[in-house]
Amino acid sequence: MISGTAKCGMKYAVKRSGSAVGYCALSIKCGTRDEAGFHGGIAHFVEHTIFKGTTNRRASAINSYLDRLGGELNAFTTKEEIVYHATVLKEDLKKAAALLLELATCPTFPEHEINTEKGVVTDEIHSYKDTPSEDIYDRFEEKLFKGHPLSGNILGTKASVKKITQNELVRFVKEKFTPSKMAFTIVADIDEKKLEKDVISLCSKFFSEEINAGANDVPCTPPAAEPFDITVNKRNHQANCIIGGIAPSLYQERERIATVLLCNILGGPASNSILNASLREKHGWVYGVECGYTQYSDTGIVAISLGCDKLNLDKCLKAIDKELRKLQDELLSDRRLKAAKKQLLGQLAISGDNGETQCLSMGKGLLAYGKISTGKENKELVQAVSAEDIREMARTIFNPEKLSRLIYI
C-alpha cells in the first residue's frame, strides 16, 4: 500500500489487489452535523443531486458514460461523511476516478433535476417513517443529542428539503468540498506506483496547488445526554425498542476497542451472542436482536435494538437487564474472552477481504486518523483488551442512571 498527501491537500491511498475488478472512492469529511447555516438534509441532498450534471456533462451523459464503462457508481451520507465510490473493470479505473472528481468539483445542480429529486427524497423520508425499525433509531439519536448538530436527521424533513435551493447547493459544495477534507482511495490489480501517479495527476487536473483549504469545521462536543424513557403508541403490530447511551468516540482508542468487543459479545452478528442466544435461541421471543456501536469524532452511541410481539416485550426487557447486570458484575472467563477476540478478528479479516470494503475503510481511516491501520495493528489492539476493560465499559455505557430507552408499540 502507498499513501500520501497531494499538493492540493487531498489525502490518498492505493493498494494492489488480485482482482479484475477495481474500486475507487472519494470520501469527504462533511456530513449532517456540518449543516449549520443550511437547510436540514442538504448534505444528503447534495449526495443525490451531484450526479445530475457537471459543467462538462448532463445527467444523461453521466449515465451513458457509466453504461459504457459497465460499472457501478454509488454514494452514501452519514452524520460526518459523504462518500462517492465506483466499481469498474480495472482497465477503466482511471476513467471512473476522474468522473468521481469531476462530480465533486464542478456540479451544476440543474433546477429541473432539483425539483425531481425533492420528490425522490420526500418518498425516502416517508419510507423511513413507515419502517419502525429504521425510524426509531433516528428518533433515539434525535433525543439523545437534543439541541446538537448530531441530532439532525440525515434525510432532513419534508419542510427543510422543500426549501433547499440551487444557490444553497452550490454554496455548500464550495464551502465544504475542499481537498483538505477529502481522501481518495483505490484498490485494484494495478501497480501501486502507477496508481499513485494517476491519483496525483488527477489532483493536478481538478485542483489548484494553492487552493484555499477552506474553514475547518470545529466539532462541537455534545453536552452530557439527559437520560430518557419514552414509550410512543404507534399502533404497530409489534413492539420496537432501543436501549442505549453515550459511548467512546473514534479517538478513545483503548475504550473504543473494548466497546467493539463488548457489543460483539452482547449482540454481534454471531448466533452465539449473549442476547441472541437468550432472547431468540432459548426463548423464541424475538426474530432478531443486536447491539450496535456508532462512532463519531467526539462521541459515540451504543444501542441495543429489537423487535418483538408486544406480549413478549416485558420479558425481553427483563432478560436484557439481567444480562447487562451480569456483564457489569462478573468478569468474562478467559475462554469466553479468547473466543470473542478470535470471532472479532475473523469478522475483520473477512470484511477486509472484500475490495470495496477495503477501499471504503481506507478512506475512513485517512479522514479520521490521517493513516490506515494494518491488520497487525488491529490484532494487537484487540488482543490487548482485558476482561476488566470490558467490564469497565459495560459499567460505564450501561449505567442505569445514564441509560436511555425508546419504545414503539
Same domain, 252 and 118: no
How many folded domains does the chain comprise? Answer: 2
Same domain, 373 and 252: yes
Same domain, 319 and 370: yes
Instruction: Report the CATH number at residue 161.
Output: 3.30.830.10
Does 211 reside within a domain?
A: no
Do 133 and 190 touch, CB atoms closer than 8 A?
no
Q: What pLDDT, on a 0 to 100 scale, did the predictor assign at position 211? A: 53
**Is the pTM value of this prediction over 0.85?**
yes
Residue 219: all three cell numbers together: 466539532
Q: Residue 330: which domain range? A: 229-408
Same domain, 202 and 305: no
Same domain, 158 and 193: yes
The domain boundary, picked from 147, 172, 206, lies at: 206
Q: What pLDDT, on a 0 to 100 scale, did the predictor assign at position 209? A: 67
Q: What pLDDT digit, counting tens, does each position of 102-159 carry?
A: 999 999 999 999 999 999 999 999 998 888 988 999 999 999 999 899 999 999 999 9
Does 220 reside within a domain?
A: no
Does 349 reside within a domain?
A: yes
C-alpha distances in angstroms, 116 versus 52, 82, 106, 334? Answer: 10, 21, 20, 57
Same domain, 200 and 266: no
The domain boundary, picked from 137, 171, 206, lies at: 206
Q: What pLDDT, on a 0 to 100 scale, did the predictor assign at position 208? A: 79
Contacts of 408 (CB under 8 A, 6+ apart): 132, 135, 136, 231, 232, 234, 236, 239, 240, 241
Question: Of all residues in the chain, what percent carry a pLDDT higher than 70?
Answer: 96
Q: What pLDDT, on a 0 to 100 scale, did the predictor assign at position 353? A: 87
Same domain, 244 and 196: no
Which has the closest alpha carbon to 187: 339, 369, 372?
372
Same domain, 14 and 159: yes
Same domain, 235 and 149: no
Does 223 reside within a domain?
A: no
The segments of the chain whose pLDDT lies below 50 read 212-218
Does 311 reside within a domain?
A: yes
Widest CA span in the chain? 64
Q: What pLDDT, on a 0 to 100 scale, did the predictor assign at position 352? A: 83
Does 219 reside within a domain?
A: no
C-alpha distances in angstroms, 287 versus 231, 239, 318, 339? Answer: 21, 12, 17, 25
Does 248 reside within a domain?
A: yes
Q: Give the C-alpha separation, 303 to 294, whole Å.
A: 8
Same domain, 156 and 60: yes
Does 216 reside within a domain?
A: no
The domain boundary, picked from 158, 191, 206, lies at: 206
Same domain, 194 and 252: no
Q: What pLDDT, on a 0 to 100 scale, did the predictor assign at position 219? A: 55
Same domain, 202 and 236: no
